[in-house]
Structure 1
Amino acid sequence: MSDLFDYKKEMSELRFTEIQKKALAEAAASAARTPAKRRRPVFRTALIAAAMAAVLVVGSSAAGILPSPTEIFAPLFGGAAAQTEVIDKIGHPIGASDTVNGITITADAIMGTEYNAVIVYTLSRDDGARFFPEGENLDSQMLVMGGFGGLGGIKGGSHGSSWFVDEDPEDDRIQYVEAVNMDYPVTKATVNATFYDLCYWKDGQAEPQALYTGRWYLRYEVDYEDCSIRLGGGETFSQDGLNFTIDEVSVSPIGFRVAYTADQEPVWSGAPSGRQAPQASRESQRYLENVEILLTKTDGTVLDLSNSGGSISPKDGASVCTKGEVLTEILPLEEMASLSVGGVTYEIPHS
């Protein structure tokens, strides 16, 4: 098994078609990647299938006036005054695009931190016709799109979630949103990646059906203001027979990241292809899921982030672990009171 074990409990029940296996092989050549739990945007959504999720990508410059990041992100992550203020500060327009077989994929905007990023793409028909066949929409089928590279291929591992949004089922476009948490810093990096073959599943189908075929080659520069703040490091806690040392804790209006070291290496065991062995699942829980992450808001609301995705890197009898996630809505720092990791609580400054 790889030293870097990207964990998400949903992977334990995955089964792959030959099409999916092909996509997985290409993805593995670039970076290990697993999905986070399904997210709930404002509009109709469909989660990208785990094995087929494309990673952050973009390409050549598009002409015309670019929409502002607030226009792009506010409907998806909150449009209150405090939230749009955050978007105005950290959002960055892109406008890069590529057109193949009458379908254009455009990277609209990106926002992020040193380790977290969110990007929104628009997929549109150049002839202006309805994007889905008549009578079809995101509620009637699940979309999947192949791809690899992007931020997930810059360096190290990543995990995240991806979903489609369709504001108007009768128009010629849909949006694709991707949220990712990285093991390595990604600001000021050049992204190169590929999308291919937008397909769909309908109830009763054994294989995905092609909706639009092609390969879209995309490229852009990661450029946004890191709005995260560091909260501490060096604190310790113990649980499940392990002793942990917290290496780093950071939080931002769009997400969080924690890194900690366990004093043992996990014990893995083999499993059939496409499945996670029970022993591996238990070990992952000890090192990742069972490490409680709680974000408390100033109004007293507690967000349990313990199920966020993460990675385990065993080395020399210890294990370096990371956990992180992009939040489901923008949460200004002024509305955060504290973040606790394994029972160690960090107050969030508001200066």
Structure 2
Amino acid sequence: MNRQFDYQQELDALHFTQEQKETIAARAAQAAQAQMAQKKHHRPVWRTAAIAAALAVVLAVGAGASGVLRSAAEVLGPIFGASSAQTEIIDKIGYPVGASDTDNGITITAEAVMGDRYNAAIVYTVCRDDGTALLPDGVSAESLLVRGGGTDVQILGGSHGGSWFVDEVPGDDRVQIVQTVSSDQELIGAGATAEFENLYWWDESKGESVPVLEGHWKFRFDLDYEDSAFTLNGGQTFAQNGMTFTIDEITLSPVAIKVDYTVDQEVEWSNSGSGQMADEDQAAMKRYFENVEILLTKTDGTVVDFSGAGGSVSPQDGTTVCSKGTVFSQIIPVEEMASLSVGGVEFSLEA
């Protein structure tokens, strides 16, 4: 696929007034000259300085913002931690995005992304274009639901994740959607499609979802950020449930963790075909996956439990290959990590 052709197609899909077009052209030319003097950071060759500068300006204007992309720290800090150490990490690994779509007077924008080799966190903003309050009185961000595919990452592998809403300034014209993606394949540089349809809130008293906003939003962007992960070599074993577990590899970063291990017995699924997990399959998931304990101890003595992380369980030639990973709710600087325990096997991290 010709990436220059892809870029032109995306530009053609955006719509601007003549005044906005003139502004884009003038600012892109200025930004391109400035960008040419700066170092590039692991970007594909086809992204020349002029294209990168022009695209940044186009996305900023297309989002209906002030014309300047919000910094990654400004977007991610209030959600994942705004201490000086956490902000330093975001400045190093996070990137603003700015891709968006507008429907029915509402714009959804992918504001910023950060992550590591196998995990990513994306923050979207849902904004009412006329500046009026986005949510009705009495509706909180915690009760919101959105339909659609969310963030679909174009990779040849499995992935899982989660999402939640954040309302940084209650009563204003916007809320944030935070989505996380964890994968068994590398995510950096992968294309992503964001798709959302209608916004609802959950009425606890009625036990049903109530429409808040109608619309359909779909756009593309890249998971473009710096890898923050380091690897702990495997080979260690532990026993539980009458089986032997071999740790293959651990990938750890200030923002996420991924643990790969192999069990010496092959899992057997019931294949009930009912659409619901059978009792015997739930028991197997606990034995092979859920009961594998992952504990991170910080230098202040705090223990963070990641045993509930999602992932995959795959039977393979008489064994079972498992991958368990998640994005942290708060950034944990590496210097604050003392040790990691997987199934009781201890890894010292203070060195």
> Could you tell me the TM-score, scaled by structure 1's length?
0.78
Distance 1:284 1:152 in 2: 25
Partner of 2:294: 293
CA distance in 2, matches of 1:318, 1:304: 26
The CA distance in 2 between the partners of 1:183 and 1:278, in whole Å, is: 27
1:255 aligned partner: 256
Matched length: 289
Alignment of 1:143-292 (within 5 A): 143-148=144-149, 150-205=151-206, 207-269=208-270, 273=274, 275-292=276-293
Match of 1:62 among 57, 60, 63: 60
Q: Which moved more, 1:107-116 or 1:340-349?
A: 340-349
Query: How far, CA to CA, are the matches of 1:316 and 1:150 in structure 2?
Result: 33
Distance 1:135 1:150 in 2: 28
Per-residue deviation, 1:149: 6.5
2:120 is matched with 117
Q: The residue matched to 2:287 in structure 1 has which SS?
A: helix
Secondary structure, aligned partner of 1:150: strand
Distance 1:152 1:339 in 2: 29
Whichever residue aligns with residue 197 of structure 1, its letter is N
Question: What is the DSSP-based 3-state SS (H/G/I as helix, E as strand, rest coil) of the residue aligned with 1:267?
Answer: coil
Counterpart check, 1:96 vs 2:94: no
The two structures have a TM-score, normalised by structure 2, of 0.78
Shift of 1:326: 1.1
The farther-off stretch of 147-156 and 68-77 is: 147-156
C-alpha distance after superposition, 1:104-140 (max 9, x if no partner): 000110000011111101001111111112343336x
Deviation at 1:325, TM superposition (A): 1.1
State the match for 1:74 in structure 2.
Answer: 77
Equivalent pair of 1:156/1:184 in contact (CA under 8 Å): yes
CA distance in 2, matches of 1:348, 1:299: 13
**Alpha-carbon spacing, 1:137–1:307, altered in 2? closer, same or farther (3 Å):** closer
* Residue type at the aligned position of 1:124: C
Q: Letter of the aligned partner of 2:122 in structure 1? A: I
Over 3 Å counting, the alpha-carbon distance change for 1:128 and 1:69 in structure 2 is same
Shift of the alpha carbon at 1:258? 0.5
- Write the distance in 1 (CA, Å) between the matches of 2:152 and 2:348: 31
Residue 265 of structure 1 aligns to a residue whose secondary structure is coil
Structure richer in helix, relative to its length: 2
1:148 and 1:155 map into 2 onto residues whose CA distance is 17
The separation in 2 between residues aligned to 1:96 and 1:161, in whole angstroms, is: 21
Mapped to 1, the partners of 2:349 and 2:153 lie a distance apart of: 29
Q: Which residue of 2 aligns with 1:105?
A: 108
| Whole-Å separation in 1 of the counterparts to 2:131 and 2:282 | 47
Give the whole-Å Cα distance in 2 for the aligned partners of 1:176 and 1:273. Answer: 33
Q: Displacement of 1:342 after TM fit?
A: 1.3
**Paired residue secondary structure (1:67):** coil
**Structure 2 contact 141–175 (Cα < 8 Å) conserved:** no
Structure 1 residue 341: deviation in Å? 1.2
1:38-57 aligned within 5 A:
none
Mapped to 2, the partners of 1:183 and 1:162 lie a distance apart of: 19
* Aligned amino acid, residue 60 of structure 2: A
Which residue of 2 is the match for residue 37 of structure 1?
none
Distance apart, 1:89 and its partner CA:
0.5
1:328 aligns with 2:329: yes
1:198 CA drift (Å): 1.4
| Whole-angstrom CA distance in 2 between matches of 1:206 and 1:150 | 27
Deviates further, 164-173 or 147-156 = 147-156
Any stretches of 5+ residues in structure 2 without a counterpart? Answer: 1-57, 62-66
1:85 match: secondary structure: helix
Distance 2:92 2:292 in 1: 32
Rounded to whole Å, the distance in 2 between the matches of 1:131 and 1:278 is 43
- Residue matched to 1:49: none
Structure 1: tracts of 5 or more residues without a match: 1-59
TM-superposed deviation, 1:150: 3.3
CA distance in 2, matches of 1:202, 1:313: 38
Q: Is the 8 A contact 2:154 2:190 kept in 1?
A: no
Per-residue deviation, residues 234-287 of structure 1 (Å, max 9, x unmatched): 222221121122111011101111001112222222568563222111110111
